[in-house]
Structure formats: structure tokens, C-alpha cells
């Protein structure tokens, strides 16, 4: 990675690992684990001052990053650009479905109940209550820019938004619809829905299908993109960031945050273990220990592995992490420094990084966050 000068580098490109780099990254993560164990043994022996340990940790981190990025490919950074649905009728139908409480068994919640578009796609709760008031298992992630993620959910169990959109509907803890046919029979009672499905999927023998519910919701979600002030900086407007925000950007690169938080979504393009060398719950205060992707794959290597969070709109999408265990952005930065970078960020670094992260807050699409005036009604 290029050396960090006094002025922030031109961020015209983001460096992403190639497939050949994965082995190096695995070795890098193992080295961090081994280093953390060594530091704990040293502390137990009383060896070394805190300053010396931090300096040594920083030196090892930079060497590891330099090795880990020896072979990389560069991809042009671009702002999230509005993708018009292939068929506007699918997107319009998807918006109605998104706001319709009848997609839950008791009619108490809609997609917007947990992923509140007017609140940057979240409800700002640690976990969201389901249709019958039961608590959800993980923090509800934002839907903004989610269509650009490499996979959906914290454990990546859905490959895209088409697949993801319909999974909460049948989840007994979330929207609790008992079966696909139950929901289709319910929607078929409404002439407007029958007509809208027919127009949105004119080539289908059965336009109103469960798969098409997912396609319509996904068509709407693909419009939920939020270009930010930082994108203007990437496009050459150097004056759009103030000195502290630029200092935070320098720190973001210097600390190697782009190892995981990269690409157009500044994250959400890979899976990583949460807690390298130390257990995450010790620092987050998590009430429940979640084994992460392991619950989906059954692979021991996936224990405590989660999808890297996108940092777009991170200022607004509190509380943080898969269980919403950390409330403030500054505390989340400290936790990430400790668990993922292997450093205790000082107050200035935390303030600078937080200032930079706030430049990733985007502009909400006005039409999308305006609820429909009328939903389909029965005969």
C-alpha cells in the first residue's frame, strides 16, 4: 500500500485482494492471533511498557499489511449509481409490498417496520421484534446499498436481494407467514394486486408467485442507493472534506481498514472472523455468543465469522455489529481497533476516524422513502 503523505492520497482506486491473495490473508490473520497470544503472555510476565507494546504492535501490523497486499488488483471506485428497474412496474409493485403489513401473519409489521427507509433503512434497535413481538436473533442491517453486497444477511445465507427479500416473510420469528400459499391466497383477494402482478410479469403463466414477490421487492431495493459526500471527494472535489475528515481518511488507510472495508460499498464484499486473537464478546459486552456463519455452513473455520459490514451510512445505522451490542460510533471504532487491527486507538484517532466515517452518510432517495398513499384493498 502506498505510503501515507501529510495530505490524504488520491483515492481513485480501492485495492482488493485477488483470489491468489486469500492464502496470504489467512496467514496474516493467523499471525495476528499468534501475536495476540504472545502479547498476553508478555503482559502476564510483566514484560515491556504499554508504549513499547503498542509501538511493536503497530510495526508488526504494518509489516503484515505490506506482505498481505503484495499481489492485488485495483478496481475503480465509483459512487452507488441509481439503477432503474428493468421494468418500472416491478419496482412500483415492490414498493407497495415493502410497505404492506399484510406480508406478516398478524398484519403487525412490514419490511419497513424493521428496515425503516426514513431512518436510513434501520430501526435503531439492537434486535427487531417480530410479528408476534418475539425478539429477532440479530441486528437488522440497512437495506440501502444492500443490492451491491456480495451476499445478504450477516451470515451470507442469501446470495442476492431477490433471494433475501422473501426469507423473512416465512421466518417464524420475523413475519411468521406459515407458507407461500398462505401469502399468495391473501394477496389474491385484492384485485389491484392481481392486476399489478399481471402487468409486472406479463410473460409469466402465473404472474402472482412467491418468486415474483421476491423479484418485485428486489427491483425496488435496487433503487435504494445513497451517494455521499465522500463520493464527491473521490470524483475530485478535494474541498468537500474538512481537515479532520481528511486526517481520518489517512488513519483509515494507515491502519489497514481497507483490508476489509473496500469496494463501492466500503465493506460487505467478504467474510471475516470477528475478533482476531481475542473473543469479541469480551469487548462488546454481547449477551449472547453468536457463532456466525458457522450456523449456516457447519464449517469450524466459519466460527465467529460474519459478513463485513458496509460503512456507508454507518453514522445512522446504530447500534453496531451483528447483535447491536455497541451503541455509539466512537465505541464501535475502538472495538474494531482492538479486535480487528490489534491496536488501542487513542482519542484523536477515534475522533478522526469517526469524522471520516460520517462523510459516508448519503442522500436518501426522496421517492423511495415516501410511503404509498394507498395500498391495495379488497373487493
Q: Which active-site residues does the annotation give?
A: 174
CA distances in angstroms from 160 to 11, 152, 210, 360, listed in the order given: 28, 6, 16, 23
Question: Identical fold at 13-79+228-360 and 88-221?
Answer: yes
Count other C-beta atoms under 10 Å from residue 147's C-beta.
22
pLDDT at 105 over 80: yes
pLDDT digits 0-9 by tens, 221-267: 999 999 999 999 999 999 999 999 999 999 999 999 999 999 999 99
CA dihedral 177→181→187→192, nearest 10 degrees, is: 150
- For range 111-122, the mean pLDDT: 98
User: Exposed, middle or buried, 190 (CB in 10 Å: 0-12/13-18/19+)?
Assistant: middle
Please state the separation of Cα 43 from the chain's center in Å. Answer: 35
For the chain, the residue count is 379
pLDDT digits 0-9 by tens, 37-71: 666 665 555 555 545 554 554 554 454 444 433 32
Superfamily covering domain 88-221: Cytochrome c-like domain (1.10.760.10)
pLDDT at 75 over 70: no
Three-state DSSP state, 15: strand
pLDDT digits 0-9 by tens, 181-225: 999 999 999 999 999 999 999 999 999 999 999 999 999 999 999
Confidence label for 344 from pLDDT (cuts 50, 70 and 90): very high
For residue 163, what are the contacts with CB-CB under 8 A and spacing of at least 6? 152, 214
CA diameter of the chain: 78
**Segments making up each domain of the chain, as ranges:** 13-79+228-360, 88-221
Only one residue has cell 436518501, namely 364
Whole-number pLDDT of residue 83: 56
Per-residue DSSP letter, 337:
I
Whole-number pLDDT of residue 277: 83
The distance in angstroms from the start CA to the end CA of the chain is 64
Query: Which candidate, 160, 371, 361, places its Cα nearest to that of 268?
Result: 160
| CATH match of 13-79+228-360 with 1.10.760.10 | yes
- For range 352-371, the mean pLDDT: 97
Amino acid at each position: 500500500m502506498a505510503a501515507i503523505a501529510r495530505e490524504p492520497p488520491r483515492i481513485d482506486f480501492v485495492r482488493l485482494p485477488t483470489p491468489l491473495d486469500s492464502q496470504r490473508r489467512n496467514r496474516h490473520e493467523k499471525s495476528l492471533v499468534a501475536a495476540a497470544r504472545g502479547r498476553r503472555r508478555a503482559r502476564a510476565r510483566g514484560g515491556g511498557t504499554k508504549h513499547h507494546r503498542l509501538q511493536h504492535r503497530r510495526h508488526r501490523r504494518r509489516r503484515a499489511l505490506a506482505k498481505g497486499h503484495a499481489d492485488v488488483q485495483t478496481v475503480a471506485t465509483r459512487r452507488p449509481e441509481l439503477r432503474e428497474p428493468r421494468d418500472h412496474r416491478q419496482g412500483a409493485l415492490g414498493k407497495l409490498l415493502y410497505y404492506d403489513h399484510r406480508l406478516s401473519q398478524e398484519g403487525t409489521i412490514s419490511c419497513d417496520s424493521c428496515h425503516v427507509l426514513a431512518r436510513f433503512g434501520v430501526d435503531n434497535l439492537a434486535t427487531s421484534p417480530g410479528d408476534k413481538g418475539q425478539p429477532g436473533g440479530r441486528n437488522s442491517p440497512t437495506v440501502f446499498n444492500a443490492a451491491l453486497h456480495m451476499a445478504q444477511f450477516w451470515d451470507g445465507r442469501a446470495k442476492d436481494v431477490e433471494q433475501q427479500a422473501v426469507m423473512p416473510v416465512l421466518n417464524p420469528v420475523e413475519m411468521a407467514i406459515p407458507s407461500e400459499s398462505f401469502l399468495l391466497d391473501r394477496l389474491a383477494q385484492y384485485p389491484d394486486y392481481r392486476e399489478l402482478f399481471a402487468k409486472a410479469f406479463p410473460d409469466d403463466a402465473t404472474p402472482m408467485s412467491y418468486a415474483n414477490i421476491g423479484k418485485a421487492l428486489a427491483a425496488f431495493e435496487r433503487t435504494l442507493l445513497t451517494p455521499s459526500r465522500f463520493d464527491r471527494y473521490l470524483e475530485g472535489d478535494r474541498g468537500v472534506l474538512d481537515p479532520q475528515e481528511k486526517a481520518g481518511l489517512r488513519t483509515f488507510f494507515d491502519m489497514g481498514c481497507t483490508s476489509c472495508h473496500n469496494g463501492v460499498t466500503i465493506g460487505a464484499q467478504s467474510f471475516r472472523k470477528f475478533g482476531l486473537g481475542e473473543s469479541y464478546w469480551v469487548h462488546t459486552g454481547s449477551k449472547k455468543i453468536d457463532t456466525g456463519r458457522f450456523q449456516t455452513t457447519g464449517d469450524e473455520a466459519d466460527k465467529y465469522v460474519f459478513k463485513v459490514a458496509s460503512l456507508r451510512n454507518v453514522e445512522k445505522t446504530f447500534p453496531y455489529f451483528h447483535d447491536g451490542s455497541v451503541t455509539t460510533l466512537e465505541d464501535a471504532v475502538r472495538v474494531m481497533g482492538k479486535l480487528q487491527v490489534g491496536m488501542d486507538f487513542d482519542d484523536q484517532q477515534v475522533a478522526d476516524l469517526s469524522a471520516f466515517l460520517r462523510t459516508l452518510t448519503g442522500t436518501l432517495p426522496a421517492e423511495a422513502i415516501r410511503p404509498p398513499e394507498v395500498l391495495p384493498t379488497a373487493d
